């Protein structure tokens, strides 16, 4: 007979408790950890996930299959394309873009697109595969310490330590990506994604969202701004993407205070091209009127502008500098400050309009408008050509002709950036996306894919040169697979022309910039896309009409336009200085060293600018004094 002791009773109680707990847990609903992760994405409103399969992401692939009714897996043909598409999605929509890649090479391939997202402040989540945790630290196949690889690019960079924590870490990553407008990386050991964990709501997005309070301009700050404007002879606005939806207020203040407007590339379309005092962009991808007027400014007012070429352009001459920005960390980043105003652009403009008095009519303002009017006429004349060699300007005429009013443009890196800034009709009804600060080639196709996925009912263009297009042309297959009626326009000139122009202006032989010619229309046909090759100027309208027909049938199309490698007018080579109290314009010494001595008149004429005047001529006409 067994003696019943206290110890026996305690052991029995522990057993019963454990048994009942197991029964209770078995009744609780569970899901694979990777499915729980996807449910977090779904809760945050994610519809598309871009990526390419690999052995170390199979648990994620399994989850995407299980959740396919609620979230879409978009199969790209290179991880770079997936990462760029995610970045473009974030830029176009303001919502987080999601991409993934497998351990090792897949992870490395993501970096190009992730750096683009970092530089353009786009919230992106990258899910990175890792070998099963039982194989980690054994020099296993494709096992790499991936967290250090992403430390520079990411605002949040973690490896998941347990299956149960996977959805929590991903939820935290999304919140950090939004907070810092940057890249969040989560590295996931593959076996964790298969483990069953409780099926509960892991997402924190149930916190009601509301606009973040913005800094407001004070009366004192704006009064100081107005004093500096009044003291200046030649004030100029330099406006960036921080203008947001406040362009009408900017235009009103520009007219009221008689201050011409120049813009950064990312503000293109935000400030209407129809506003007569919007001179356009400065530096190289620029307008003549904007570069010239900026070169004479004695007061620059940077409004929400992050300008990566400031160390070049802002150093050409001395001027007073006012910076208005809602991010205090930006102050003094590009130029020492005479006045910094920590404010949202709308608040500043409202306060400035309220406290200011209309300025007297300005001869400088009128000269700027006249110079810009002639520049616009010059551009229109180039686009209007109907005879002669096929060049890039009429291509933009045709794009503008068939583009719907709310069309979306994905513009690849190279000469097409310059040409889009000059010739493409963009308004606030359009959306457009570029790799602005990182400037990665191969952006056009993934950007267009993201645009069409996010806005299926809007017309989408991909505009790319032959160099950039050939880096990612395999993903025409993605357009076909997902039935994305995108108009792909390839400007083929057998040259990396953006780099060719740089080499032209230094003492060196042209090196490595000429490309083997390809028939991209035939390449497109082989990938299932209707291809149209254009070699003659007179054939352009018919080609674009056909492209419109094809996309209205729900299919992608590619127009391969074989153009010359003509260089556009390099307005950045124009320089101004004050001599004996007057402005004198000249061509840069570097340009003349490689292209021969020439006057400004000869320089303009060599780029068909026969009717363009020099800025000093406008100043003389309107009585502008140094």
**Consecutive sets of 10 residues in the chain, 626 residues long: mean pLDDT of each?**
53 52 64 97 97 96 98 98 98 97 96 97 97 86 90 97 97 96 97 96 76 89 97 96 93 98 93 95 94 96 88 87 91 87 94 97 98 97 95 98 98 96 94 95 98 98 98 98 98 96 93 96 98 97 98 98 96 94 94 95 96 96 93
E strand or H helix that includes residue 500: helix 497-504
If we measure between CA atoms, which residue out of 242, 265, 182, 247 comes closest to residue 432?
Answer: 265
Q: Give me the catalytic one of 77, 158, 284, 397.
A: 284
What distance in Å separates the CA atoms of residue 404 and residue 384, rounded to the nearest whole number? Answer: 20
**Catalytic residue list contains 376:** no
In sequence order, the 6+-apart residues with CB closer than 8 A to the CB of 572 are 283, 284, 286, 291
Q: Give me the catalytic one of 9, 16, 70, 141.
A: 141
Phi, psi (rounded to 5 degrees) for 578: -100, 125
In sequence order, the 6+-apart residues with CB closer than 8 A to the CB of 22 are none
E strand or H helix that includes residue 189: strand 183-189
Coil, helix or strand at residue 26: helix
Beta strands at 30-32 and 196-198: parallel, antiparallel or unpaired: antiparallel
pLDDT at residue 23 in the model:
44
Q: Give me the catalytic one of 142, 216, 503, 592.
A: 142
**Catalytic residue list contains 69:** no
Q: Give me the catalytic one of 423, 469, 498, 520.
A: 498
pLDDT at residue 19 in the model:
47
**Catalytic residue list contains 79:** yes
Q: Give me the catalytic one of 67, 79, 276, 479.
A: 79
Q: Give me the catalytic one of 429, 502, 538, 602.
A: 502
pLDDT at residue 116 in the model:
98
Question: From residue 20, how far is each of 14, 120, 269, 273 by CA, in Å?
Answer: 10, 54, 66, 72
| Ramachandran quadrant class, 422 (left: phi over 0; alpha: psi -120 to 50; beta: rest) | alpha
**Catalytic residue list contains 499:** yes
Residues 171 and 2 sit within 8 Å (Cβ to Cβ) = no
Domain ranges of the chain: 31-198, 219-373, 390-562, 573-622
**Catalytic residue list contains 408:** no
Coil, helix or strand at residue 321: strand
Residue 495 pairs with which residues in a beta bridge? 514
Residues 145 and 16 sit within 8 Å (Cβ to Cβ) = no
**Catalytic residue list contains 284:** yes
Q: Give me the catalytic one of 81, 160, 413, 529.
A: 413
If we measure between CA atoms, which residue out of 481, 482, 479 comes closest to residue 462?
Answer: 479
pLDDT at residue 324 in the model:
94
What distance in Å separates the CA atoms of residue 157 and residue 187, rounded to the nearest whole number? Answer: 8
Domains 219-373 and 390-562 share a fold: yes
Q: Give me the catalytic one of 147, 499, 550, 584.
A: 499
Q: What is the CATH number of domain 390-562?
A: 3.40.50.970
**Which class is domain 31-198?**
alpha beta
**Which class is domain 219-373?**
alpha beta
Count other Cβ atoms within 10 Å, centred on residue 52.
Answer: 20
């Amino acid at each position: 007979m067994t003696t019943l002791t206290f110890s026996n009773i305690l052991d029995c109680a522990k057993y019963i408790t454990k048994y009942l707990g197991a029964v209770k847990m078995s009744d609780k609903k569970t899901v694979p950890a990777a499915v729980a992760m996807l449910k977090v994405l779904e809760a945050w409103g994610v519809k598309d996930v871009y990526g390419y399969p690999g052995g170390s992401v199979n648990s994620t692939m399994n989850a995407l299959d299980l959740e396919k009714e609620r979230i879409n897996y978009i199969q790209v043909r290179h991880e770079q394309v997936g990462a760029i598409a995610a970045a473009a999605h974030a830029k176009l929509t303001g919502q987080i873009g999601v991409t993934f890649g497998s351990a090792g090479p897949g992870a490395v391939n993501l970096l190009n697109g992730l750096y683009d997202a970092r530089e353009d402040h786009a919230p992106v989540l990258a899910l990175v595969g890792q070998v099963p945790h039982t194989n980690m630290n054994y020099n296993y196949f494709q096992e790499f310490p991936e967290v250090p690889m992403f430390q520079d690019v990411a605002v949040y960079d973690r490896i998941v330590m347990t299956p149960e924590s996977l959805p929590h870490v991903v939820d935290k990553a999304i919140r950090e990506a939004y907070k810092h407008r940057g890249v969040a990386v989560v590295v996931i050991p593959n076996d964790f994604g298969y483990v069953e964990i409780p099926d509960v709501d892991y997402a924190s997005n149930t916190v009601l969202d509301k606009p973040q309070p913005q800094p407001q301009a004070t009366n004192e700050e704006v009064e100081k701004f107005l004093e500096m404007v009044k003291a200046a002879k030649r004030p100029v606005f330099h406006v960036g993407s921080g203008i947001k939806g406040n362009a009408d207020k900017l235009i009103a203040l520009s007219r009221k205070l008689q201050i011409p407007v120049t813009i950064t590339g990312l503000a293109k379309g935000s400030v209407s091209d129809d506003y007569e005092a919007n001179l356009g962009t400065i530096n190289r991808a620029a307008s003549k009127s904007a570069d010239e007027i900026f070169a004479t400014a004695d007061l620059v007012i940077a409004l929400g502008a992050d300008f990566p070429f400031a160390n070049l352009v802002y150093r050409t001459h001395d001027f007073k500098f006012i910076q208005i920005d809602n991010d205090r960390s930006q102050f003094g980043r590009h130029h020492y400050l005479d006045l910094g105003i920590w404010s949202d652009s709308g608040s500043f403009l409202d306060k400035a309009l309220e406290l200011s008095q209309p300025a007297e009519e300005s001869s400088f303002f009128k000269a700027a408008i006249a110079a810009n009017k002639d520049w616009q006429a010059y551009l229109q004349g180039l686009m209007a050509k109907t005879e002669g060699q096929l060049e890039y300007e009429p291509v933009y005429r045709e794009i503008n002709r068939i583009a719907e009013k709310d069309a979306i443009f994905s513009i690849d890196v190279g000469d097409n950036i310059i040409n889009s800034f000059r010739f493409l009709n963009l308004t606030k009804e359009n959306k457009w996306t570029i790799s602005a600060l990182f400037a990665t080639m191969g952006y056009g196709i993934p950007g267009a894919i993201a645009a069409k996925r996010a806005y299926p009912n809007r017309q989408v263009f991909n505009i790319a040169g032959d160099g950039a297009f050939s880096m990612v042309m395999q993903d025409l297959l993605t357009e076909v697979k997902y039935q994305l009626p995108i108009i792909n326009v390839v400007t083929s000139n057998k040259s990396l022309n953006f780099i060719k122009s740089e080499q032209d202006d230094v003492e060196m032989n042209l090196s490595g910039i000429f490309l083997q010619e390809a028939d991209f229309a035939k390449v497109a046909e082989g990938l299932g896309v209707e291809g149209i090759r254009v070699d003659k100027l007179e054939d352009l309208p018919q080609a674009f009409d056909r492209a419109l027909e094809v996309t209205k049938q729900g299919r992608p199309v590619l127009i391969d336009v074989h153009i010359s490698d003509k260089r556009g007018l390099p307005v950045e080579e124009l320089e101004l200085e004050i001599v004996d109290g007057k402005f004198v314009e000249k061509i840069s010494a570097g340009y003349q060293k490689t292209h021969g001595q020439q006057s400004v008149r000869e320089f303009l004429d060599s780029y068909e600018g026969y009717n363009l005047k020099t800025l000093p001529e406008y100043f003389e006409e309107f009585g502008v004094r140094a």
